[in-house]
A and B are shown apart, each in its own frame.
Chain A
């Protein structure tokens, strides 16, 4: 490893350990590009290492634009709910890479979550601003403040890896999330899969979900599938072919769980569809 790389490596590790850094909005991720995580395997028959790439790109799943920004926002959740520390985290010019040592049977969730709240209001004719977490909101922002506007941003980019038998996945209860009906490591070409979406833990009805197969570099059209969730927040989709798929959904508008709050929620998953 060159000195420069070693230094960068250390810096990335250092920043990762600074868990006190405030989480930031997902705004730095350019809107016209896809941001994704790509695991080396999604189905394992033994415990051990996997490696995961993260990038912001023009083509799925090729590293051709920007590396994924990974700070304190990466959470690798083990089947028992504990967290696994990423190893060998390195941010290159075009991609970010890290390893994860999966030592238990069941399903791991690898998630990059950017969440933030920003508030502005008037106090004695003066504009006040605040930025922080949901936990600190009540203590920092008067609920009945004049001209109160809260902006909530929550973006989640994730993928799933299973050692042995797939295990249950629980949503965090905040933001826009996938609530598996068909397990995300139990997807097969030609078989219909049902996926449910929740916002703050409640069914996300009537939202648009985009699904796109990887390998866009080798075809003329994106062949983006657009599905709309039903009243229970569900879509059912039959995968045309095995491969890695990109799934994205966004929700903008007034929050129905918080007052005076405009929200911008997004969810992205990389899903591997297996051959029969």
Chain B
């Protein structure tokens, strides 16, 4: 059932490649679980691409409580503690094109185009795409997916979480 779909996708992207050599990119679909607790707060989420040596190649998205008075929402960014260690503490929020408000449970698809911020131009090599979620009065979870850049064909990988992230689907477009 899945295989024909992937092939179709590869074909479609292949045609795209013929017209524009720089239209490749990455789609990331993050699904957040519906959690039935009375003190539910939407989680803080960070998505980034890192190199095998843990250095960050690109910050893709950071969702936090941007609307809180006096920037109070930034106080809890450190709770995405892997992201905070990798790059969060080096940055000043808000960051155009990367930071935005927290999101409700469900699927959220983000598209990134190579050569454009925030993805930029990735050197050829192996990377990890990391999604970290941390929820007030709740838990924290990290999902990591390996990826090789640039892709030669369209590829789709996914991973499932157990607590704060339902799933992450990464589609690479050549």
User: Hey, which chain A residues are within 8 Å of B40, CB to CB?
Assistant: none
CB distance from A186 to the nearest CB of B (A): 8
Of B75, B77, B90, the contact of A165 (CB 8 Å cutoff):
B90
Interface of A toward B, CB cutoff 8 Å: 43-46, 48, 162, 164-166, 186, 188, 274-276
Q: Is B10 an interface residue, CB under 8 A from the partner? A: no
Interface of B toward A, CB cutoff 8 Å: 71-72, 74-78, 81-82, 84-85, 88-90
User: Hey, which chain B residues are within 8 Å of A276, CB to CB?
Assistant: 82
Task: List 18 A–B pairs whose Cβ atoms lie within 8 Å, in order of A's numbering.
Answer: A43-B89, A44-B75, A45-B74, A45-B76, A45-B77, A45-B78, A46-B71, A46-B72, A46-B77, A162-B89, A164-B89, A164-B90, A165-B89, A165-B90, A166-B89, A188-B85, A274-B81, A275-B81
User: Hey, which chain A residues are within 8 Å of B90, CB to CB?
Assistant: 164-165
Shortest Cβ distance from A44 into B: residue = B78
Q: A275 vs B132: C-alpha distance in the bound complex, in angstroms?
A: 14
Inter-chain contact A45/B89, CB cutoff 8 Å: yes
Of B72, B74, B78, the contact of A43 (CB 8 Å cutoff):
B78
Q: A276 vs B140: C-alpha distance in the bound complex, in angstroms?
A: 12
Inter-chain contact B84/A45, CB cutoff 8 Å: yes
Inter-chain contact A45/B75, CB cutoff 8 Å: yes
CB distance from A25 to the nearest CB of B (A): 39
User: Hey, which chain A residues are within 8 Å of B82, CB to CB?
Assistant: 276
Shortest Cβ distance from A274 into B: residue = B81
CB distance from A45 to the nearest CB of B (A): 4
User: Hey, which chain B residues are within 8 Å of A164, CB to CB?
Assistant: 89-90
Q: A275 vs B76: C-alpha distance in the bound complex, in angstroms?
A: 16
User: Hey, which chain B residues are within 8 Å of A274, CB to CB?
Assistant: 81, 85
Inter-chain contact A46/B81, CB cutoff 8 Å: no
User: Hey, which chain B residues are within 8 Å of A44, CB to CB?
Assistant: 75, 78
User: Hey, which chain B residues are within 8 Å of A275, CB to CB?
Assistant: 81
Of the listed residues B71, B89, B90, the one surrounded by the most CB atoms of chain A closer than 10 A to its CB is: B89
Of the listed residues A48, A164, A165, A166, the one surrounded by the most CB atoms of chain B closer than 10 A to its CB is: A164
Q: A188 vs B84: C-alpha distance in the bound complex, in angstroms?
A: 13
User: Hey, which chain A residues are within 8 Å of B89, CB to CB?
Assistant: 43, 45, 162, 164-166
Shortest Cβ distance from A166 into B: residue = B89
In addition to A165-B89, A274-B85, 18 A-B residue pairs with Cβ atoms within 8 Å of each other are A43-B78, A43-B84, A43-B89, A44-B75, A45-B76, A45-B78, A46-B71, A46-B72, A46-B74, A46-B75, A162-B89, A165-B90, A166-B89, A186-B85, A188-B85, A274-B81, A275-B81, A276-B82
